[in-house]
Amino acid sequence: MMHIHWGELVFSTLSTLITFTVLLILVRWIGSTQLTQLTYFNWVAGASMGNLAANMMATHDMATWRNNLYALVLFTACAIAAAYLALKSRRFRQVASGEPIVLIHKGALVRDNLRRTKVNVDVLMMLLREKGYFSYDEIEYGILEPTGNLSILPVQAAQSVAKVDLVRKPDLSGEDGGPYIELVVDGELDRDKLAETGRSEAWVEEQIRAHGGQGLEDVLYLAVNQRGDVVIDLHRRRPPA
């Protein structure tokens, strides 16, 4: 006859209920981006929190449970601190979450970027088929997002896009000028991308002044395509002194 250890059963039940409540509070604390797992960083953080919570529920003594609880709370605090740092620093966002990478350019594969992202042709074709396309020569631009999703601009769409006012309503597909390259985001200049465009910091400052800004601190977003079209948003302002 099987003996039931009521003490262990009660402890396990309470541990599970308390762990569930703690995990729910911490996930709410960490924010909605963790729930959607927008980036690899969010996914790893979610998996790690789940593993720590599982250890809490599987333990049979209070001391180990407290240690796991401490580790879970500390890990959550680190994740929140990293999210706050990513909010303040675009460079950190690029390191932690990555950045969009062009895999298809005007119907041709960008093989260096395929190697860089470790995406083989079979996986790329699968991503295209999920979008309803069966050949990459039908694609003007295919961009792998930090989330792992593939954003595409079909050739037909690129040829039929109407011209718009780039300041009031920018067309970020770039038409035949190619996709826009983000040079300034939230007041931070990406000098590596600036070098890729062959332009200088003096050119950036000239564009800012031409649109009524004084410096990088005023710029929320600035991008340019291969044709030289500029998209700029000066909604970001310096805080009052």
Q: What is the pLDDT of residue 6?
A: 65
The C-alpha atoms of residue 212 and residue 231 are separated, in whole angstroms, by 14
Listed residue (120, 157, 122, 163) closest to 138, CA to CA: 157
pLDDT of residue 200: 92
* Residue appearing with tokens 């039940």: 13
In the three-class reduction of DSSP (H, G, I as helix; E, B as strand; rest coil), residue 35 is classed as helix
The CATH fold of domain 99-160: CRO Repressor (3.30.240)
26 to 82, 85, 101, 151, 172: CA distances (angstroms): 15, 19, 33, 32, 37
- Residue range 40-66: mean pLDDT, rounded: 81
With CA atoms as reference, report the closest residue to 99 among 108, 90, 107: 90
Report the pLDDT value the prediction gives residue 167, as an integer from 0 to 100. Answer: 41
Higher pLDDT: 60 or 112? It is 112
Q: How far apart are CA 184 and CA 221, in angstroms?
A: 5
Contact in structure between 59 and 15 (CB atoms under 8 Å): yes
- Type of residue found at 216: L
Indicate the fold that domain 162-241 takes in CATH.
CRO Repressor (3.30.240)
The DSSP H or E segment spanning 217 is: none
Q: In what order do the strands lie in the sheet with 230-233?
A: 188-189, 181-185, 221-224, 230-233
Structural Rg of the chain based on CA atoms: 24
Query: What is the pLDDT averaged over residues 95-103?
Result: 81
Q: Torsion angle, CA of 81/44/131/123, rounded to 10 degrees?
A: 130
pLDDT in tens, 131-158: 888 878 788 889 998 878 899 988 876 5
Predicted TM-score of the model (pTM): 0.53
Tell me the per-residue pLDDT of 33-47, one tens digit each, with 9 for 90 and over.
555 545 666 777 778
